Chain A
């Protein structure tokens, strides 16, 4: 790591929001660190200070209520999700996406919130969160706002977050509980790898939604389809929505092909 920075670990929410208000533009929030430390090492980011958010009370919690659904705090790791009984029982699509993310060691550190605020096109959690109608609860010293994930991403590595803001909580609504779904991710090897194409499919109460990663500048949602839509119609809708590029991992044409393959496979498997 070539850069040096000040390390700060506020132990209250007020202190954290105050730090972001004063130093937001030159600060970087640290949760799991599995992307930030790599960026620091590669000299991609040069923050004056790193603000560890893991000591803020409540940020490591997953909670559930009938009205709100499940709430996932900013410091909740991917493996926390995989050990949460309410998520295991009621949100199988989150479990599918989480268990396909990187390696066990990374899942012990990487957070759900980190996976979406990075706004990588190949985010593994975003397709599920889009399908489930989840929202981001964003806080700053100015107050709080709620942004659905359909409006959250602004481009490759860009979101609606301002420098003084933090995504504090992800809310997955109760009405998305107990749906059926699945996630298929194309990668070079069976283990730890970045996705080349990712497709999540969710069905509940006659509604069908698909979330797609690595096929557009941001993860995207394909919604508004009836659950009994013929496969050809669903594949056509997904094909319309995606806009993949060719890169070192695969060609645009292969991505378009595999999105269709995964969509058909999921339609067959998720009854």
Chain B
């Protein structure tokens, strides 16, 4: 079947098999390999993308279901080789270790900050509950989110200790 999707503002029309997942469509048909496959079962969040503005696990969506949708992936985050403010904060706080979870993590953080520009530590933890970092670098990720939301100075060291 034929599908048309807008990805990071660019329109793509492709012939796809009905059983192809959105994740494999992005990676294998379009070469957008920033979106990763971790578990393939909706547990890890490495494949998180925005589908019509909502975060989804792209391993659990069929490409056919995305026909007509607007999708945003990690490739759309940096504009003209300029990192986004979230990406810069991740780099500044060493919130990237092996990097496998980072693409999906940043998509979830972006959604979180769009809904809630000044999340508390608890709200950040909830906002990224669907994204596993197996390097366990959560503290740096939370610091990066506090920083990009202009709250790093306000966050008490006591609060961060319990992260």
Contact = CB atoms under 8 A, between A and B. Distances in A.
A binds B: yes
B48 interface: yes
Interface of B: 1, 17-21, 40-43, 45, 48, 54-57, 59-62, 64-65, 108, 111, 125-127, 129-130
Contacts of A30: 62, 65
A254 interface: no
Nearest to B45: A105
Interface residues of A, number: 30
If over half of B's interface residues share one DSSP class (helix, strand or loop), that class is named, otherwise mixed; here it is: mixed
Contacts of B60: 32-34, 37-38, 106, 109
A41 B40 contact: yes
Contacts of B20: 1
Nearest to A79: B54
Contacts of A191: 125-126, 129-130
A245 interface: no
A4 interface: yes
A143 B41 CA distance: 36
Interface string A100-116: 00111110110000000
30 contacts: A1-B19, A1-B20, A1-B21, A4-B17, A6-B18, A7-B1, A9-B64, A30-B62, A33-B60, A33-B61, A33-B62, A33-B65, A34-B57, A34-B60, A37-B21, A37-B59, A37-B62, A38-B42, A40-B19, A41-B40, A50-B19, A50-B62, A103-B130, A104-B108, A104-B111, A104-B129, A105-B48, A105-B55, A191-B126, A192-B130
A3 to B, nearest CB: 7
A106 B57 contact: yes
Contacts of B1: 7
A54 interface: yes
Contacts of B111: 104
Nearest to A54: B65
A120 interface: no
Contacts of B65: 9, 30, 33, 52, 54
A50 B62 CA distance: 10
A1 to B, nearest CB: 5
B56 A109 contact: yes
B61 A41 contact: no
Nearest to A38: B41
Interface string A174-210: 0000000000000000111000000000000000000
B55 A34 contact: no
Contacts of B21: 1, 37
Given A7-B64, A33-B65, A34-B60, A105 B130 contact: yes
Nearest to B59: A37
Contacts of A108: 54-56
A106 B19 contact: no
Most buried by A among B17, B18, B20: B18
Contacts of A192: 43, 129-130
A50 B18 contact: yes
